[in-house]
Amino acid sequence: MGLLLDDLEKINQIDLRGMLSVISAVPESAEEAIVLAENVKLKVRHFRNLVIAGMGGSAVGGLLLRDWLQQATRVPIVISRDYSLPGFVGRDTLLFAVSYSGETEEALSAFEEGKARGAKMVAFTSGGELEKRARAEHVTVYKLPAGFQPRAALSHQFISLVVAARKVGIVEDSWWEVREAIDVLKVLREENRPETPQWSNPAKKLATELYGYVPFIYGSRIHEAVAYRWNTQLNENGKSPAGSSFIPEAFHNAIVASEADKELLKKVCAVVLLDPAEGERITAKTRRLMEIMKPCFGKVLEVEASGEGRLARMLSALYLGDFVSAYLGLLYGKDPSTVESIDRLKRG
């Protein structure tokens, strides 16, 4: 397996659509997204809550924004992943409708419902029906670059959400964290890119550890969205079943999985996302959780976030997971970009 991940020619034969190249370009994509988003004129005031409507990869940016700003804003941020919006949505709501393709049924339904309820609206899309409807209603559109899988456009999507949130006054004193996060991602890219050999490449090592196991990701509350991203990236890029839970919630349910059948647990690899800035109570309980899991699970692995700011710590853990998922897909001999099951489901 190690030979495969260091064999660039073999990687290129499997990664036909270049997912690893897209992942490697994330820091520059984020910088480009800042420039593009800053050029969009947005003037919205007098709202009491922010609702971000999106599905799948298009929902992840909203989840990250919510978790990042949880302690930094007094504006409630709610993520809607459904055809219908929450009952409180109305004239005091700012609605961010997010659909990378512009054709997602749930996002289009949320857009129409938000319009009917008098919500203030902004659209984030690469085109399609959402852009068409938004422009017809004179709704501001943050245009995302086309040609990617929705999950691979996260840097553009998330940064556009951040810039929009900044322009409406939600992100104020936290902007320095965006710059720091991009710098941290550049360092991580050098450590985990395909050209870096496995002996010094954390993502390649982790992917090799996960090969043949069912990963389950645990993250503290700050990393709830990040753990979810690991989960979905392992599903889509890694072609692997996976699950996730966040701490301290996991102390009240997921921990009981350690009592499952011993043979079944041998196939599970727990990945625990650690944060150096986490509080003492959560840190102590997380260590205790790992002590309970280690004799039961097939493997228990640790991933420590890096960076000073909350956003850098979140995105550093997320970025490592993106690399890991792509390498795992390659180990299984699968193109990380393809999502044949999703395509079949959409075709009906």
Confidence of residue 3 (pLDDT cuts 50, 70, 90): low
| Residue that wins the pLDDT comparison between 101 and 2 | 101
Torsions phi, psi of 97, nearest 5?
-95, 120
pLDDT at residue 348 in the model: 67
**Intrachain domains 2-16+186-331 and 43-167 with the same fold:** yes
| Residue that wins the pLDDT comparison between 345 and 102 | 102
| Residue that wins the pLDDT comparison between 83 and 255 | 83
Per-residue pLDDT reduced to its tens digit, 256-311:
888 899 999 999 999 999 999 988 888 898 999 999 999 999 999 999 999 999 99
Range 2-16+186-331: architecture per CATH = 3-Layer(aba) Sandwich (3.40)
Residue type at position 13: Q
Whether omega for the bond prior to residue 197 falls within 30 degrees of 0, making it cis, is no
Do residues 123 and 140 touch, judged by C-beta distance below 8 A? Answer: yes
CATH of 43-167, one of 3.40.50.10490, 3.40.50.970, 3.90.850.10, 3.30.70.2860: 3.40.50.10490
Q: What rounded mean pLDDT belongs to the chain?
A: 95
Q: Percent of the chain beyond pLDDT 90?
A: 84
Give the pTM: 0.95
Domain boundaries, the chain: 2-16+186-331, 43-167
Confidence of residue 254 (pLDDT cuts 50, 70, 90): confident
pLDDT at residue 173 in the model: 78
Q: Which residues are the active-site residues?
A: 236, 252, 346
